[in-house]
Amino acid sequence: MSASRIMDGADPRADWLLASLARQAAVMEAMAAGARGGATTGDAEGRALAWLGVQGQAARYARNLEARARGRLAQRWEPELAAHGQVLRRHRDEADQALALLDPDVVSEARRRVGLRVAVVGKGGAGKSMVSGTLARLLARRGHDVLAADLDTNPGLAFSLGVPPSQGGLPAEAVEEHAGAAYGWRLRSGISPAEAVERFALPAPDGARFLPLGKIDEVDKTGPKRSLVALLEVLLGFGNPSWDVVGDLEAGPTTPFERYHGFADRVVVVVGPAWRSAMTARRLLPLVADIPTTVVANRMRDEPDHPGIEPAVRIPFDPAVADAERRGLAPLDACPGSPAVEAVAHLADVLRGDHEAGRHHDHDRQEVAL
């Protein structure tokens, strides 16, 4: 893209968009450089993993670009968006070629080490935070590096993770004002998504790391607004393939329009027994359909499944979870062996199983074909 077209723009929104594409290109180049560097130093499986990381990241950025290409600015910036698509495709092709040269068994082994990337959506009260926090910690207990992010301006993930609620969102040094960014703030120039995770993700139990949007008891919503765009950029651009990433998303159907789920390779739709919870799920499902979905029924007693939304996992209503909430404890600390926690462990198995069956890789393949 030409610098003059950026500079001439009195349109801060366009400036933000083009800067975002440049940042994405820098993330891709850094990942590819790491993978190329590993060709002389790393073990074969590590090399394969690094290239799988490049592949996955190119696919996620490409999905994001496809959504952008339908946006308001798309027509004016069509050449820049198309050029960015080419950049992503080049990285994808380089990764494909590098992987093709490696022993297929080694690549399969590396594929098993690629982490889950899960966005959890659903109506308020459905149990998104309970599922996200418990899932993140269970994955961490299985020995994975885990990043758990709270994208809900009504934060609940700190509680279900068992992190003290006093901690706020990204600090002032992580963000900068930009007139073109939604809410007026973005990730500070010069801080990459990987560096942001390293520097600003808070320690959580079981070794998980936590990126909150705001404090759990925050009334003033300007803090979360300062963090939101930066946090989305961090999640979308954090492509370290050995990490599991779990995002607890805001309730309601606006977030899919803004592609909060864009960082994920799988969307978990949590649905409660209430009719309105099912209605929200039905609205959400087509909006997140560019990414494979898994439906989870939560707080179930004896209710039949909602028509047309077959859950892959059913989490029972569990008085021990409700009691943990009253005591201000994470379910995993208060009632580790309870039926609801066991069901979330089953969800972790299901997600892992689908992941290893390679379903989302096939999906990436289609999506990245720009």
Ligand X SMILES: Nc1ncnc2c1ncn2[C@@H]1O[C@H](COP(=O)(O)OP(=O)(O)O)[C@@H](O)[C@H]1O
Number of neighbours of residue 106 by Cβ within 10 angstroms: 17
Which one among 49, 88, 116, 130 touches ligand X, defined by CB under 6 A?
Answer: 130
The values of phi and psi at residue 243, to 5°, are -95, 145
Q: How many residues bind Mg ion (CB under 5 A)?
A: 3
Give how far Cα 296 sits from Cα of 148, 240, 366, Å.
Answer: 19, 27, 26
Interacting positions 143-162 with ligand X (CB under 6 A): 156
Residue 298, interface with Mg ion (CB under 5 A)?
no
Fill in the DSSP letter of residue 259.
T
Which one among 318, 332, 355, 368 touches ligand X, defined by CB under 6 A?
Answer: 318
Q: Which does 124 bind (CB under 5 to 8 A by kind): ligand X, Mg ion, none?
A: ligand X
The values of phi and psi at residue 108, to 5°, are -60, -40
Identify which range of 35-43, 98-106, 117-125, 362-370 contacts ligand X by CB under 6 A. Answer: 117-125
Q: Which does 256 bind (CB under 5 to 8 A by kind): Mg ion, ligand X, none?
A: none
The least CB distance from residue 268 to ligand X, in Å, is 11
Q: Which does 367 bind (CB under 5 to 8 A by kind): Mg ion, ligand X, none?
A: none
* Site map 242..281 versus ligand X, x via CB under 6 A: ----------------------------------------
Number of neighbours of residue 292 by Cβ within 10 angstroms: 16
Q: Which does 321 bind (CB under 5 to 8 A by kind): ligand X, Mg ion, none?
A: ligand X
Residue 322, interface with ligand X (CB under 6 A)?
yes
Identify which range of 167-175, 180-188, 205-213, 317-325 contacts ligand X by CB under 6 A. Answer: 317-325
Output b/e per residue, 278-290; b: 16+ Cβ within 10 A: bebbeebbebbeb
Number of neighbours of residue 340 by Cβ within 10 angstroms: 25
Q: What residue has token string 């594409």?
A: 21
Q: Where are the beta strands (DSSP E) in 290-357?
A: 293-300, 313-316
Which one among 24, 129, 277, 298 touches Mg ion, defined by CB under 5 A?
Answer: 129
Residue 137, interface with ligand X (CB under 6 A)?
no
Give how far Cα 302 sits from Cα of 100, 298, 299, 319, 340, Å.
Answer: 50, 12, 10, 15, 15
CA 164: distance to chain centroid?
A: 22
Which one among 66, 176, 325, 367 touches ligand X, defined by CB under 6 A?
Answer: 325
Residue 284, interface with ligand X (CB under 6 A)?
no
Residue 134, interface with ligand X (CB under 6 A)?
no
Which residues here bind Mg ion, judged by CB under 5 A?
128-129, 156
